[in-house]
Amino acid sequence: MANNNQDQLFKAFGLFIEAFRPYVVSLLMEEDGDKWPAKFVEVLSFDQKEKWNMGLRNGSTPETLIDFHHLKSFAIQKKDLLKKDFTKSISALPNWLSEIAQLRHEVAHFSAEINEDEATKVWIHMKTIAKTIGMPELEEELKKIQNSNITNQAEKVVVVAAETVYSGALKPWFQ
């Protein structure tokens, strides 16, 4: 996958996590109020809890500590909170979040090759989640970012074709 595609995905991942964090917090606050961070930490692995606590000690807010690699376990362990929004797709949600987290990891750590099919699935997952949780603005912004990538590719093709110029000593037969 071209670097431009990776740049577009990187932007999309940033928008997605910034929108999904408040959604997670709002679900937990409905049930636990201000004690939501303690309830969120319950879904984390031991290592994740250690990093969470280190982040708190370093002055990060609990909301900003919610990250991609936490979302799958949150979706599995807090299925009851997510069920009202995700109804039929609740069983697919952990897998979607896992695929998003995996590709985000690859993009963030500049993996040499990003699979186009995996990227397409992740775009679909992010837009579907945005739509499902009632964030049409996020869905539209994700579409714009994804489509700007397609537009940029089309423009590049036009530019390359326009720059093709004959520069030899022989004149073409059609002149």
Q: Give the span between the Cα atoms of 120 and 122, in whole angstroms.
A: 5
3-state SS record for 128-145: HHHHHCCCHHHHHHHHHH
- Residue 137's pLDDT is 96
Number of domains in the chain: 1
Residue 161 belongs to some domain of the structure: no
* Nearest-10 Cα torsion for 106, 107, 113, 118: 80
Q: Give the span between the Cα atoms of 57 and 94, in whole angstroms.
A: 29
- Residue 5's pLDDT is 82
Domain range for 113: 3-152
Residue 135 belongs to some domain of the structure: yes
First-to-last alpha carbon distance for the chain, in angstroms, is: 41
Residue 157 belongs to some domain of the structure: no
Residue 89 belongs to some domain of the structure: yes
Q: pLDDT tens across 19-58, in order?
A: 999 999 999 999 999 999 999 999 999 999 999 999 999 9
